[in-house]
Amino acid sequence: MALGEFELIDRYFRRPVRRAALGVGDDCALLQPSPGMQLAVSTDLLVEGRHFLSTVDPVLLGHKSLAVNLSDLAACGAAPLAFTLSLALPRADERFLAPFAQGLLALADRFDIELVGGDTTAGPLTIGITVFGEVPPGQALLRSGARVGDDIWVSGWPGEARLALEVFRGSLSLDEAGFAQARHAMECPEPRVALGLALRGLAHAAIDLSDGLLGDLRHVLQRSGVGAQLWLADFPRRAPLATQPLPVQRMCLLTGGDDYELLFCAAPESAPAVRAVAEQAGVAVHRIGRIEPAEAGLRVLDETGQAADLGHWSGFDHFKT
C-alpha cells in the first residue's frame, strides 16, 4: 500500500498536543521552556546494519531509538520534555511503521513527553531523533566535573548487550534464557532518567555508556583532567555474562558498547546517598573504581588485583571498527 508522506505522519505519529505550544504539522514546533530553566538537547542517528539489525522487531526498534536519546538526557540530569523524529524509509511500509510508532510512543508516554515535529523521506532506513529536556542552570551533570578521590559508579549490568551481539555474529552461543536476557539488554535498553535526575547535586560528573565503558570513561577523564583506576573484581556481572570465559567477560564489560547505563563520579562520603537514590530509582549501582590524578592515567586492575594490559582495548568508534 502506497502511503504518502503526509498521510503517513498523520496516521502513525500525530497526536493531540499537550505540553508543547504547537506540535507536528507546521514549519516549526513551538516549545515554551519553563522560566529560567536551561534546555538540554541531544541528537542521535541510527542506521540499519550499523546500530540495529534488519531483523529487529520494529516495536523494540521504536523503543530503542528514543531510549538511546533519553539516555543522553539522563546522563545530564535533565528532565525529558519533547522530541523530534526524522525517518528515511526505503518505502512507506505499514507493517514497519505501525509497530515502530507503537514502541516509540509507548516509551514517550511513560516519560510523558511528546513528538513535536519531524521529517520523513525515502532513503536507506535511518532514524534521527533529537530530544529536549530541561535542567536548572548550573545543575546539569557534565563530563567535566570529576574530582580526584571520587568513586566511579556504574548503573545496571553493562556488557550484556555485547553478549547478544556476539551471538548474532556467531562468535559465541548462550542457552535460551541467557540469550533472551542479553537480547533484551541489546534491543530494549532502559534509559536511566530517574537515576540521572536523582544524581543532580550528588554526582560530580556523568556520562551514558554507549560506545564501551573504557572509551566513555576516557571522555570523562579528558574533560575533567584526571586519571582513574578501575577494579574489575568489583564490576557487576550476573548470568549469562558471569558464566562466560574471563576474557569474554572483560571484553564485554570494558568495551561492550550499547549499554545505555550511567557511569558517574561522586565523592566517597556521598556513597550512602548514591545507594539510597539508586534504590529509590529502582536501579542497581556498583562502585567500580576511583578517580586519580591525571598523571596516573587510566589503569584497570584485573580480578586478581594485577594491572591489566589495555593496549588492545579502546572505545567503540564508528569509523574505526
CB closer to a copy of itself out of 59 and 116: 116
Using the contact rule CB under 8 A, the part of the chain among 96-104, 137-145, 229-237, 251-259 near a copy of itself is 137-145
Q: Which one-letter amino acid corresponds to residue 94?
A: E
Peptide bond preceding 240: is omega within 30 degrees of 0, i.e. cis? yes
201-260: which residues touch a copy of itself (CB under 8 A)? Answer: 206-208, 223
Buried-exposed string 131-149: b where 16+ CB fall within 10 A, e elsewhere: bbbbbeeeebbbbebbeee
Query: Which residues from 87-106 bind a copy of itself, rule CB under 8 A?
Result: 87-89, 91-92
| Footprint of a copy of itself on 40-69 (CB under 8 A) | 40-45, 47, 49-51
CA atoms within 13 A on the CB side of 63: 19
Q: What is the DSSP letter of 163?
A: H
What is the nearest approach in angstroms of a copy of itself to the Cβ of residue 299? 22
- Per CB under 8 A, which of residues 111..130 are in contact with a copy of itself? 116-124, 126, 128, 130
β-strand partners of 265: 152, 205
19 binds a copy of itself (CB under 8 A): no
Name which of 8 and 288 has its Cβ closer to a copy of itself. 8
Choosing from 16, 26, 54, 272, the residue that interacts with a copy of itself (CB under 8 A) is: 26
3-state secondary structure of 216: helix
Q: How far is CA 92 from CA 49, 163, 236, in A?
A: 19, 33, 43
Nearer CB in complex with a copy of itself: 93/234: 93
Cα angle 193-26-122, degrees, rounded to a multiple of 5 = 80
The residue range among 133-141, 156-164, 166-174, 248-256 that interacts with a copy of itself, by the rule CB under 8 A, is: 133-141
Supply the minimum distance, in Å, between the C-beta of residue 126 and a copy of itself: 5
